[in-house]
Structure 1
Amino acid sequence: MEEKTFKLLEKMYSEFSQRFEAIDEKFGEMDKRFDTLENEVKKNRNSIVELENKLGDKIDALFDGYKQNTEAINRLETKFDALAEKVDKQEVEIRVIKGAK
């Protein structure tokens, strides 16, 4: 009876040992995968920072150009309004001159 119990315990121990080894192996694989993922995340972070640095200057330059274009358009609108006003005055003067004849 004791020998049967001992063999049963020995068999159980062997099975548990095999299962624990399999679990340890899977944890090792998971650790490798997590390390790979961690490295990829770091690479992505670095790439994002590089892009932000490159694009930041370009976006600032584009915004400056946009502001300059807006200011130029505003100046042209002012000049156009002044010219339109002169044309209106000259049309009135021409009518007056033609009406006087």
Structure 2
Amino acid sequence: MHKMTEELKLILTEMRQGFKEVNQRLDAVDQRFDAIDQRFTAIDQRFDAIDQRFTAIDQRFDGIDNRLDRIEKKVDVIQKQVVKNSEAITGLNVKVDEQATILTTLSMRSITQEGEIRSLKQVRSL
């Protein structure tokens, strides 16, 4: 019986050692899972950082788009003003041409009248 007790003790010792080894291996597996989890956390953080950068880029594109819209509106206002000024200049040119025609007509009449006045003076002096 003594031999059986020793064999049982030996078996129990081996079982305890086996359980210890299994526990150590499970601890090692847990540590590996922790390391993998930490890596996934780091990868998540990197993706979050990339997502934030894309969000910032989108905001910058929106800002540029808004600026382009404002510039386009200003260009439209300037183009309308240019058209208005061009029409006003055309109107002034027409008026200047009319005034030039009137001045030419008045000059011709003045020359004609001066000639008639000379003729009358010559007739009177005779």
Q: Same fold (TM over 0.5)?
A: yes
Which residue number in structure 1 is paired with residue 86 of structure 2?
A: 45
- Unmatched tracts of structure 1, length 5 or more: 87-101
- Taking structure 2 as the reference length, the TM-score comes to 0.54
**Offset of residue 19 of structure 1:** 0.7
Which residue number in structure 2 is paired with residue 36 of structure 1?
A: 77
Which residue number in structure 2 is paired with residue 62 of structure 1?
A: 103
- Taking structure 1 as the reference length, the TM-score comes to 0.65
Q: Which whole-Å CA distance do the structure 1 matches of 2:111 and 2:51 have between them?
A: 86
1:14-58, Cα deviation, whole Å (9 max, x unpaired): 111111111100100001000000111111111111121222112
In structure 2, what residue type is equivalent to 1:29?
R
**Offset of residue 3 of structure 1:** 1.1
Partner residue of 1:21 out of 37, 55, 62: 62
Which residue number in structure 2 is paired with residue 98 of structure 1?
A: none
Q: How many residues are treated as equivalent by the alignment?
A: 83
Q: Could you say which structure has the larger radius of gyration? A: 2
- Unmatched tracts of structure 2, length 5 or more: 1-41
Which residue number in structure 2 is paired with residue 5 of structure 1?
A: 46
In structure 1, what residue type is equivalent to 2:70?
E
